[in-house]
């Protein structure tokens, strides 16, 4: 027990002048913090002795409060390891993600609220709290070459110079930008020179910076419908006017976009692998979009988030590579090809916009961790990066096949799968009478992450389906997960 370090002491507020007894104040503070999820289920609390010391009250007072919280099921103790927030507090007691939320999220998914993806303001929806099968966007971290990474990280940390430890450049670490430029030109057909490449903390930050930088050009932005909720959040927070433009089997319907809002000066798209439905945008539609952008002086934000993984054919070249008028802001990320917590991505910015983007970046967080940039530079330059992508392409293809086969076995003729043979997720369509949020919640209770497709719709009546990621689950987990998914679907 003594080897366990003391957890942080929560910011308990007490009112010594209050008529309420002190033990009741301690009890009330913890109860409220647990119900609001300021303290999360399973979180270890400081010992009563440490807490009493910190709050300068008697230990008996804290013991009395904890006893009551324990008796009411808010706290539990584990012999030898301390006191924890109970893991089994009924959902209805917890504030925002209560039983009521099911109806709310479906309804909200038709509004332009920033909570449309099924999130409440402060809490993750249950399917986003599970890291196993079928969490979307999670690569196989078990297959990441940790030894190589650790060796490089140690080497670069040891040799940390002023350049690595001081303030860096808003555009990024020069050798890293050079490596990215070469990679994008060679493998993605991106037309760029090094001066256009900005390193960012993942594509989510790229979207936020783009939103801020484009505000002086436009308030109206086309978004794919259904589309990526993260983009909606970035543009929604910037108070842009979100115009949902439907996608069909050819990708974004450009003609509809023009009819809906021809004055829009920006469009966000995922042309290589539409998120979530998984089709590629046809060459004709790409040309139409580029033509619209150059005629109107509009900007296209191309999110190329997982194009390294195409299984049946060669990777598609980027839309940016077809652009001869400098209208495309190209975004990519290392989250899928390496791991999400690396928080590194990049943007290729049209020359005319570079200074505005740098201004915004400077205001946001100045620059990305130079240490990680330098480690990743060597990882790329020494060939580990491409080798890892090659290995993962083989692995994810196997996992995808395994998932498709397991779904067909489990669901028989009810199995309808959407999406090209690419990326790290597919969409399982559900019959109309099923509510995908209800199914996803049931699946989460069984320990399975399934993201409801309806959360990706901004306005139009949503289609019902489940977005299933297969990158982060091995074949045994996929097979067991599909069985549970079958139960969740049948029982919802």
Ligand X SMILES: Cc1ncc(COP(=O)(O)O)c(C=O)c1O
**Geometric angle at alpha carbon 448, from 341 and 415, rounded to 5°:** 115
Interface with ligand X includes 270 (CB under 6 A)? Answer: yes
Smallest distance, Å, CB 343 to ligand X?
7
Question: Measured from the CB atom, is 46 or 469 closer to ligand X?
Answer: 469
Interface with ligand X includes 449 (CB under 6 A)? Answer: no
Question: Measured from the CB atom, is 181 or 203 closer to ligand X?
Answer: 203
Which residue in the set 230, 236, 321, 465 belongs to the binding site for ligand X (CB under 6 A)?
Answer: 230
Which residue in the set 204, 212, 449, 451 belongs to the binding site for ligand X (CB under 6 A)?
Answer: 204
Smallest distance, Å, CB 170 to ligand X?
18
Question: Measured from the CB atom, is 23 or 222 closer to ligand X?
Answer: 222
Measured CA to CA, the distance from residue 348 to residue 384 in angstroms comes to 23
Question: Measured from the CB atom, is 173 or 268 closer to ligand X?
Answer: 268
Residues in contact with ligand X, total (CB under 6 A)?
Answer: 14
- Reference 347, options 323, 320, 369; nearest CA is 320
Smallest distance, Å, CB 208 to ligand X?
10
3-state secondary structure the chain: CCCCCCCCCCCCCCCCCCCCCHHHHHHHHHHHHHHCCCCCCCCECCCHHHHHHHHCCCHHHHHHHHHHHHHCCCEEEECCCEEEECCCCCHHHCCCCCCCHHHHHHHHCCCCCCCCCCCCCCCCCHHHCCCCCECCCCCCHHHCCHHHHHHHHHHHHHCCCHHHHCCCCCCCCHHHHHHHHHHHHHHCCCCCCHHHEEEECHHHHHHHHHHHHHCCCCCEEEEEECCCHHHHHHHHHCCCEEEEEEEECCEECHHHHHHHCCCCCEEEECCCCCCCCCCCCCHHHHHHHHHHHHHHCCEEEEECCCCCCECCCCCCCCCHHHCCCCCEEEEEECCCCCCHHHCCEEEECCHHHHHHHHHHHHHHCCCCCHHHHHHHHHHHHCCHHHHHHHHHHHHHHHHHHHHHHHHHHHHHHHCEEECCCECCEEEEECCCCCCHHHHHHHHHHCCCCCEEHHHHCCCCCCCCEEEEECCCCCHHHHHHHHHHHHHHHHCC
Smallest distance, Å, CB 338 to ligand X?
10
Smallest distance, Å, CB 455 to ligand X?
13
Task: For residue 60, give every residue at least 6 positions away whose Cβ sits within 8 Å of its Cβ, in sequence order, or none.
Answer: none
CB 303 within 8 Å of CB 207: yes
Binding mask 78-117 for ligand X (x = CB under 6 A): ----------------------------------------
Stretch that binds ligand X, among 155-163, 199-207, 373-381, 479-487 (CB under 6 A): 199-207
Which residue in the set 23, 29, 268, 275 belongs to the binding site for ligand X (CB under 6 A)?
Answer: 275
Smallest distance, Å, CB 427 to ligand X?
13
Stretch that binds ligand X, among 6-14, 202-210, 232-240, 411-419 (CB under 6 A): 202-210
Stretch that binds ligand X, among 196-204, 372-380, 446-454, 475-483 (CB under 6 A): 196-204
Smallest distance, Å, CB 100 to ligand X?
28
Site for ligand X in 302-341 (CB under 6 A): 303, 305, 333, 335, 340
Smallest distance, Å, CB 243 to ligand X?
18
Question: Measured from the CB atom, is 33 or 466 closer to ligand X?
Answer: 466
Q: With both helix axes pointing from N to C terminus, report the angle between 354-364 and 202-214 in degrees, rounded to the nearest 10.
A: 120
Question: Measured from the CB atom, is 347 or 485 closer to ligand X?
Answer: 347
Question: Measured from the CB atom, is 318 or 333 closer to ligand X?
Answer: 333
Question: Measured from the CB atom, is 196 or 204 closer to ligand X?
Answer: 204
Question: Measured from the CB atom, is 22 or 240 closer to ligand X?
Answer: 240
Question: Measured from the CB atom, is 210 or 411 closer to ligand X?
Answer: 210
Which residue in the set 118, 139, 168, 202 belongs to the binding site for ligand X (CB under 6 A)?
Answer: 202
Question: Measured from the CB atom, is 63 or 130 closer to ligand X?
Answer: 130
Interface with ligand X includes 172 (CB under 6 A)? Answer: no
Which residue in the set 47, 64, 137, 373 belongs to the binding site for ligand X (CB under 6 A)?
Answer: 137
Which residue in the set 244, 345, 471, 481 belongs to the binding site for ligand X (CB under 6 A)?
Answer: 345
CB 46 within 8 Å of CB 84: no
Smallest distance, Å, CB 135 to ligand X?
10
Q: Tell me which residues touch ligand X (CB under 6 A).
A: 137, 202-204, 228, 230, 270, 275, 303, 305, 333, 335, 340, 345
């Amino acid at each position: 027990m003594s080897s366990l370090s003391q957890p942080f002491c929560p910011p308990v507020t007490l009112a010594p002048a209050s008529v309420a007894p002190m033990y009741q104040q301690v009890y009330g503070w913890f109860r409220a913090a647990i119900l609001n999820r300021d303290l999360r289920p399973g979180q270890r609390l400081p010992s009563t002795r440490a807490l009493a010391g910190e709050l300068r009250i008697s230990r008996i007072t804290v013991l009395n409060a904890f006893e009551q919280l324990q008796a009411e099921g808010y706290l539990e103790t584990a012999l030898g390891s301390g006191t924890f927030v109970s893991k089994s507090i009924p959902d209805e007691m917890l504030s925002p993600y209560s039983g009521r939320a099911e109806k709310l999220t479906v309804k909200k998914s038709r509004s332009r609220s920033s909570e449309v993806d099924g999130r409440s303001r402060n809490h993750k929806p249950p399917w986003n709290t599970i890291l196993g099968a079928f969490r979307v966007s999670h690569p196989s971290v078990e297959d990441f070459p940790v030894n190589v990474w650790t060796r490089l990280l140690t080497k670069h940390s040891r040799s940390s110079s002023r350049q690595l430890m001081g303030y860096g450049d808003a555009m990024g670490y020069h050798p890293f930008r050079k490596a990215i430029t070469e990679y994008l030109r060679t493998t993605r057909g991106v037309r760029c020179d090094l001066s256009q490449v900005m390193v960012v903390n993942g594509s989510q930050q790229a979207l936020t910076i783009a939103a801020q930088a484009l505000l002086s050009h436009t308030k109206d932005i086309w978004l794919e419908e259904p589309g990526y909720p993260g983009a909606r959040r970035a543009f929604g927070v910037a108070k842009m006017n979100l115009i949902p433009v439907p996608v069909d089997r050819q990708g974004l319907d450009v003609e509809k976009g023009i009819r809906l809002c021809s004055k829009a000066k920006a469009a966000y798209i995922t042309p290589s692998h539409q998120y979530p439905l998984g089709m590629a945008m046809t060459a004709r539609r790409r040309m139409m979009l580029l033509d619209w952008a150059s005629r109107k002086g509009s900007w296209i934000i191309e999110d190329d988030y997982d194009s390294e993984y195409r299984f049946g054919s060669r990777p598609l070249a980027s839309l940016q590579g077809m652009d001869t008028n400098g209208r495309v802001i190209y975004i990519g990320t290392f989250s899928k090809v390496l791991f999400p917590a690396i928080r590194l991505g990049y943007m290729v910015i049209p020359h005319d916009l570079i200074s505005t983007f740098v201004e915004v970046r400077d205001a946001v967080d100045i620059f990305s961790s130079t240490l990680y940039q330098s480690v990743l530079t060597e990882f790329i330059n020494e060939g580990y990066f491409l080798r890892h992508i090659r290995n993962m392409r083989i692995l994810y293809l196997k996992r995808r096949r395994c998932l498709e086969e397991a779904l067909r076995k489990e669901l028989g003729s009810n199995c309808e799968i959407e999406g090209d043979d690419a990326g790290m997720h597919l969409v399982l369509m559900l019959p109309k009478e099923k509510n995908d949020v209800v199914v996803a919640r049931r699946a989460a209770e069984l320990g399975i992450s399934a993201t409801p497709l309806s959360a990706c719709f901004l306005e139009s009546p949503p289609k019902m389906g489940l977005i299933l990621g297969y990158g982060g689950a091995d074949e045994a987990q996929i097979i067991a997960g599909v069985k549970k998914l079958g139960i969740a679907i049948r029982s919802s």
